[in-house]
């Protein structure tokens, strides 16, 4: 399957990167993730160019990674700088692919396409990621899951949140009769860089997730889910006393950063913040548990089941029925398709 490559993907949280190399497969490519002596995040191909041994199983020595099979050493640019065999000659082809990396607000981004086209201006704006480090305003929990589903199916799931009362009634969705079936207002906003789905439900009962944070019987519930290519989503959920201005009550900023593993699996990096009950360990644990249950026990099994039922990653080949609430995800899919065609030169 083709993927958009000239774009930024989340490779992991900053805390995932250390002097000890780890491996992750992104867009079908096995990569090695580590930090050099200057503390900079480094991402290289994880296959030694000699006999294709997994480099992460070797060791980091200074600013070099040593192959565990024959001892060749590669620097953080991917160049072989030491050959312990024969006269020490380093073949011209003895190098690894090195990927452009950018680290912002606790997120490590990687550019999987043509390095010369890497543009930091295309990274998810700080307006959507700043909460990760705004410790005086938000408490934050982060996590990572591997979803058994195509990344576009995960994107569909997030851009159409009308599924929430049916998939998440006891966690983040609440009862359908309190939201979708009570006339929830669903909208869409679009510009040249993003697509946003919006949701508003006045005088709604708080969901199980919000109940410990919002003590009133009812409130005005709002959600904005913003997508930008190829698969970065920023969400803002709020609940305010009825009739009061947005932001005057509970605000939960979230990130949903999707990176394909391959055609049928997706890295799902998520972050969830809150502007109330700051510095309360019990609230931290409860928030993290709600997030874990919603993503791991509810969304992932449903997406995985849909993937298995489809038998393909080509959704439109199955001629799906489309609802009015599918507008945002269909538009996003069409943009992804257009970018893939553009990169292929077709």
pLDDT by residue for the chain (346 residues), tens only, comes to 799 999 999 999 999 999 999 999 999 999 999 999 999 999 999 999 988 889 999 889 889 999 988 889 999 999 999 988 888 888 998 899 999 999 999 999 999 999 999 999 999 999 999 999 998 999 998 999 999 999 999 999 999 999 999 999 988 898 999 899 988 999 999 999 999 999 999 999 999 989 989 989 999 999 999 999 999 999 999 999 999 999 899 999 999 999 999 999 999 999 999 999 898 888 888 888 888 888 899 999 999 999 999 999 899 999 999 999 999 999 999 999 999 999 988 6
Tokens 């709020």 found at: 238
Q: Could you give the C-alpha distances from 301 to 124, 171, 186, 253, 294, in angstroms and in order?
A: 28, 15, 25, 24, 10
pLDDT at site 289:
85
pLDDT at site 292:
85
Strand, coil or helix: 140 = strand
DSSP 12-39: EEGGG--SS-EEEEETTEEEEEEE-TT-
pTM of the model: 0.94
Q: 125-344 domain in CATH 3.90.380.10?
A: yes
Strand, coil or helix: 132 = helix
CA proximity to 191, closest of 142, 226, 235: 226
Write down the domain spans for the chain: 8-120, 125-344
pLDDT at site 346:
61
172, two tokens:
């983040």
The reply to whether domains 8-120 and 125-344 share a CATH topology is no
DSSP state of 177: G
246, two tokens:
């947005």
pLDDT at site 287:
82
CA proximity to 29, closest of 54, 58, 51: 54
Partners of residue 101 on adjacent β-strands:
110
Q: Under CATH, which number does the domain 8-120 receive?
A: 2.102.10.10
């Amino acid at each position: 399957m083709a993927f958009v490559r000239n774009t930024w993907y989340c490779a992991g949280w900053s805390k995932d990167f250390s002097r000890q190399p780890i491996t992750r497969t992104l867009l079908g490519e096995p990569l090695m993730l580590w930090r050099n002596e200057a503390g900079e995040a480094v991402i290289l191909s994880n296959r030694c160019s000699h006999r294709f041994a997994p480099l992460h199983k070797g060791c980091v020595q200074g600013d070099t990674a040593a192959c565990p099979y024959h001892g060749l050493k590669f620097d953080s640019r991917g160049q072989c700088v030491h050959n312990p065999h024969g006269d020490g000659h380093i073949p011209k082809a003895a190098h690894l692919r090195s990927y452009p990396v950018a680290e912002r607000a606790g997120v490590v981004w990687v550019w999987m396409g043509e390095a010369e086209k890497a543009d930091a201006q295309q990274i998810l704006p700080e307006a959507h990621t700043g909460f990760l480090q705004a410790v005086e305003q938000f408490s934050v929990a982060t996590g990572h899951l591997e979803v058994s589903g195509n990344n576009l199916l995960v994107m569909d799931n997030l851009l159409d949140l009308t599924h929430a009362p049916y998939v998440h009634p006891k966690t983040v969705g609440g009862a359908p009769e309190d939201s979708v079936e009570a006339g929830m207002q669903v909208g869409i906003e679009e510009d040249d860089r993003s697509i946003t789905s919006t949701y508003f439900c006045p005088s709604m009962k708080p969901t199980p997730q919000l109940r410990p944070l919002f003590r009133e019987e009812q409130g005005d519930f709002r959600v904005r889910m913003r997508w930008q290519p190829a698969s970065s989503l920023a969400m803002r959920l709020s609940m305010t006393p009825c009739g009061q201005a947005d932001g005057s009550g509970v605000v939960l900023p979230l990130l949903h950063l999707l990176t394909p593993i391959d055609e049928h699996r997706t890295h799902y990096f998520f972050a969830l913040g809150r502007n109330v009950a700051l510095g309360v360990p019990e609230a931290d644990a409860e928030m993290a548990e709600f997030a874990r249950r919603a993503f791991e026990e509810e969304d992932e099994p449903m997406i995985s089941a849909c993937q298995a039922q489809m038998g393909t990653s080509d959704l439109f080949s199955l001629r799906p029925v489309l609802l009015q609430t599918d507008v945002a995800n269909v538009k996003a899919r069409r943009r992804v398709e257009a970018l893939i065609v553009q990169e292929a030169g077709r």
